[in-house]
Chains A and B, each alone.
Chain A
Amino acid sequence: MNWNLICIKDDLVEDAGVAAMVNGEQVAIFFLPEAEDKVFAVSNWDPIGKANVMSRGLTAHLQDQWVVASPLYKQHYNLSTGQCLEDEVFLKVWSAKMVDNEVYIAV
């Protein structure tokens, strides 16, 4: 597992997501200052809406889980596990971390 430097903190949007290209895959990176893990990385592909939009979804904290709601049809996905709360689908997840001002994703 290699930690790849993706961007700096300033590229992220607090309490929201941005998209990055990591090894040819689209990754949605969320910066949640109030969460213990601070940064989360999941696939940008919405498996139900079938479009690369997850980074543009609203984040939420529901029943002790940090989730993102699809901007297309509003299904929730757990940002740590990728599991969809309403359906039997999931998002691929990556380990992510912020060290000082740098954002890394493990590949």
Chain B
Amino acid sequence: MARKSLVRDNSYYDTLIQYYLNGIDLPAQPQALILPASNGESVGLGVEALPATASICSCHNVTKQSIADAVAAGAMSVGDVKSATKAATGCGGCAALLKKVVDNELTALGIEVSTDICEHFPHTRQDLYTIVKVEGIRTYSELLHKHGKGHGCEICKPAVGSILASVWNDYVLAKEHIGLQDTNDRFLANMQKDGTYSVVPRIPGGEITPDKLIVIGQVAKDYNLYTKITGGQRIDLFGATLPQLPEIWKRLIDAGFETGQAYGKSVRTVKSCVGSTWCRFGVNDSVGMAIKIENRYKGLRSPHKLKFAVSGCTRECAEAQSKDIGVIATEGGWNLYVCGNGGMKPRHADLFATDLDDETLLKYIDRVLMFYVKTADRLQRTSVWMDSLEGGLEYLKEVVISDSLAICEELEEQMDHVVGTFQCEWKTTVNDEKALKTFRQFVNHDGQDENVVFVEERNQIRPATDEEKVTLIAKAG
């Protein structure tokens, strides 16, 4: 295979690199590997086509053969294979690929691969979503009691917590839900490697007043936090301890900020370019639309994180075509792109509909998002969901635009419910004495975690390395 560069759309890279590295024979029509598929379906490389020597986990250099050997030796699940080979225990980026390889090996041995979410529920995530909604189930314990067994685990608890939030949108730290929340959701902040947290206030559309910028700066200064601009046009404040989180949020809320939900599998940001208000080339107000979209969908919890963008013209400065929902202004309204993402395997979004007015644009986004929430697998991003959707883009268009399943009304109603029941979780938390108690560092002691040590780098704090800690603690002693 000749070396060529992929320009703009590099979503085929994963497939091509496996062909190249493994010397696999090209298919009869090799152009199908890089040209848009005529029937709207993507041409992927099934894991069965990979040779035994293909490296699946590059952190621990685990090949497909090692995984096959582990399965042949009795490993019956991804967990077993992880223990046996260490695959996916480094950065974890290959977890989805590992699961495909394990499932493929199990199937090859004639073992039925379970689609159950875990040992506690004989159901898929999609089944559980339907059960929760149709039977009006409001808590994990009710669902477990009626449809599961045992006492739950770290797979089904957050998955059900997410489903309950998508359907009912209750406060996630309420007594009956708090034990379901994974690392970041549990304390409404992003845990870092040293056990401290980062804080991200919402900055809709990336638009912020100087006064609000000053508040963020002042809070960061007062608590000596490391500050960094994020890829989603907001500001991340690192190095907050557990007890500092509510104090920091009280100040941010007083200044008019809301939670950015950077910790949730939920709507994160709507990135925008400056649009027609200032830009010589802009054809529509991308900032205004981005703020409208962000304020509509903030608070929506979903199978995985969601990132949106709005560009004011076809120059696409907001990079909307790399987002789950991308909107680009045209002379005739808005073009809507869906199911793009960055991450380990970038995927360009698909053009879904063109020249939409504001109302239709929001209607289609409501429907696409809720259909994703309803039918996606646990921790499946929209890009992978689209690739696994039978019928692909054309099918999604039929469901959302032509209402082929007659569910659009239901999808819209459900989105209206989520929008109508929005609450800033941090605002609720700082006013809830019981919730605040869970932010104590220790239940019986006022001290701090002595293992949290910072050093200075480029005029800001950063966590000390293990070696630095030894030196610093020796000096202090």
Question: A58 to B180, alpha carbons, bound, how many Å?
Answer: 7
CB of B179 within 8 A of CB of A60, answer no
- Closest B residue to A18 by beta carbon equals B443
CB of B158 within 8 A of CB of A56, answer no
Select A21's contact among B175, B187, B191, B444, beta carbons within 8 Å.
B444
A98 within 8 A of B: no
- Closest B residue to A48 by beta carbon equals B89
- Closest B residue to A35 by beta carbon equals B151
A78 within 8 A of B: no
B449 within 8 A of A: yes
Question: A21 to B437, alpha carbons, bound, how many Å?
Answer: 16
Question: A16 to B104, alpha carbons, bound, how many Å?
Answer: 36
Question: A86 to B92, alpha carbons, bound, how many Å?
Answer: 15
B466 CB to nearest chain A CB (Å): 7
B126 within 8 A of A: no
B197 CB to nearest chain A CB (Å): 10
Using a CB-CB cutoff of 8 Å, which residues 52-95 of chain A contact chain B?
52-53, 56-63, 66, 69, 71-74, 76, 85-86
Give every chain A residue within 8 A of B158 (Cβ-Cβ).
58
B442 within 8 A of A: yes
Give every chain A residue within 8 A of B442 (Cβ-Cβ).
19-21, 26
Query: Quick one: CB contact mask for B277-304 with A, threshold 8 Å, 1 for yes?
Result: 0000000000000000000000000000
CB of B193 within 8 A of CB of A72, answer yes
CB of B445 within 8 A of CB of A21, answer yes
Question: Do A15 and B191 form a contact, CB below 8 Å, given A6-B443, A60-B152?
Answer: no
B461 CB to nearest chain A CB (Å): 16
A18 CB to nearest chain B CB (Å): 5
Question: A14 to B141, alpha carbons, bound, how many Å?
Answer: 12
B114 within 8 A of A: no
CB of A62 within 8 A of CB of B119, answer yes
B154 within 8 A of A: yes
Give every chain B residue within 8 A of A34 (Cβ-Cβ).
151
CB of A69 within 8 A of CB of B186, answer no
Using a CB-CB cutoff of 8 Å, which residues 22-65 of chain A contact chain B?
22, 26, 29, 32, 34-35, 45, 49-53, 56-63
Count of A-B residue pairs with CB < 8 Å: 99
CB of A86 within 8 A of CB of B445, answer no
- Closest B residue to A22 by beta carbon equals B444
Question: A57 to B187, alpha carbons, bound, how many Å?
Answer: 11
Select B179's contact among A16, A29, A86, beta carbons within 8 Å.
A16
* Interface residue count on the B side (C-beta < 8 Å): 37
Question: A73 to B95, alpha carbons, bound, how many Å?
Answer: 13
Select A19's contact among B150, B151, B152, B443, beta carbons within 8 Å.
B443
CB of A51 within 8 A of CB of B451, answer yes
- Closest A residue to B173 by beta carbon equals A13
CB of B438 within 8 A of CB of A13, answer yes
CB of B191 within 8 A of CB of A72, answer yes
Select A85's contact among B83, B89, B182, beta carbons within 8 Å.
B83
CB of B445 within 8 A of CB of A60, answer no
Question: Do A52 and B195 form a contact, CB below 8 Å, given A19-B442, A71-B183?
Answer: yes
CB of A62 within 8 A of CB of B153, answer yes
Question: A69 to B152, alpha carbons, bound, how many Å?
Answer: 12
Question: A8 to B320, alpha carbons, bound, how many Å?
Answer: 52
B157 within 8 A of A: yes
Using a CB-CB cutoff of 8 Å, which residues 190-218 of chain B contact chain A?
191, 193-195
CB of B444 within 8 A of CB of A7, answer yes
B462 within 8 A of A: no
B30 within 8 A of A: no
CB of B154 within 8 A of CB of A74, answer yes
Query: Quick one: CB contact mask for B437-477 with A, threshold 8 Å, 1 for yes?
Result: 11011111101010100000000000000100000000000
B471 CB to nearest chain A CB (Å): 16
Question: A7 to B444, alpha carbons, bound, how many Å?
Answer: 6
CB of A51 within 8 A of CB of B193, answer yes
Select B449's contact among A49, A52, A86, beta carbons within 8 Å.
A52
Select A52's contact among B82, B83, B451, beta carbons within 8 Å.
B451
Select A56's contact among B119, B187, B445, B451, beta carbons within 8 Å.
B187
A8 CB to nearest chain B CB (Å): 9
Question: Do A59 and B179 form a contact, CB below 8 Å, given A11-B443, A52-B195?
Answer: yes
B178 within 8 A of A: yes
Give every chain B residue within 8 A of A74 (Cβ-Cβ).
154
Question: A88 to B466, alpha carbons, bound, how many Å?
Answer: 21
Question: A62 to B153, alpha carbons, bound, how many Å?
Answer: 7
- Closest B residue to A45 by beta carbon equals B451
CB of A61 within 8 A of CB of B438, answer no
CB of B89 within 8 A of CB of A86, answer yes
CB of B183 within 8 A of CB of A56, answer yes
Question: Do A7 and B182 form a contact, CB below 8 Å, given A51-B451, A58-B154, A58-B158?
Answer: no
If A16-B186, A58-B158, A85-B83 are given as contacts, then 17 extra A-B residue pairs at C-beta distance below 8 Å, sorted by A number, are A11-B444, A13-B179, A18-B440, A20-B444, A20-B445, A26-B442, A29-B443, A34-B151, A56-B191, A58-B157, A59-B179, A60-B157, A61-B150, A61-B153, A63-B119, A71-B186, A86-B89
13 contacts between A and B (CB under 8 A): A11-B443, A13-B178, A14-B175, A14-B178, A21-B447, A22-B444, A26-B449, A52-B451, A53-B191, A56-B195, A57-B183, A60-B155, A85-B83
Nearest 8 CB-CB pairings of A with B: A15-B179, A60-B153, A61-B151, A21-B445, A71-B183, A58-B154, A51-B195, A69-B154
